[in-house]
Amino acid sequence: MENYFPILMFVLVGVAIGVLPIAMGFVLAPNRPDPEKISPYECGFEAFEDARMKFDVRYYLVAILFILFDLEIAFLFPWASIFKDIVASDSVRFFGFIEMLIFVFVLLVGYVYAWAKGALEWE
């Protein structure tokens, strides 16, 4: 049973860290509701259109392009962190560098293509 004590303490501390700030907020925070605070929208006026309206496709296109170039950085950081080891090894020195250049070139071609198609233009 003593082997499970650290797990029990970990769970109890985790629950306390999650529940304690919420409980302190209920106990210590002032409760002064007014009509503006309890309204469904904080923008100051009631909704007047359907929330399921259609969005322009460019919003989604920009989001997809952001994810694409965000993933590029996610692949570049690990490569950059071991670049010193890649250069130190004679067998993969040139290969590791050229491989990342090809990766960046493919992403650059995608960026130029999106730019040429007008995906980055906003009206």
Number of Cβ within a 10 Å radius of residue 75: 13
Domain membership flag for residue 1: no
pTM metric for this prediction: 0.49
Residue 41 Ramachandran class (φ > 0 left, ψ -120 to 50 alpha, else beta): beta
Q: In this structure, is residue 82 part of a structural domain?
A: yes
What domain count does the chain have?
A: 1
Q: Is residue 45 part of a domain?
A: no
Give CA–CA dist 10/16, Å, rounded: 10
| pLDDT values of the chain reduced to their tens digit, one per residue, 123 residues | 788 999 999 999 999 999 999 999 999 988 888 877 776 665 555 666 666 777 677 778 888 888 888 888 888 888 888 888 888 887 777 888 888 889 889 888 988 988 898 877 776
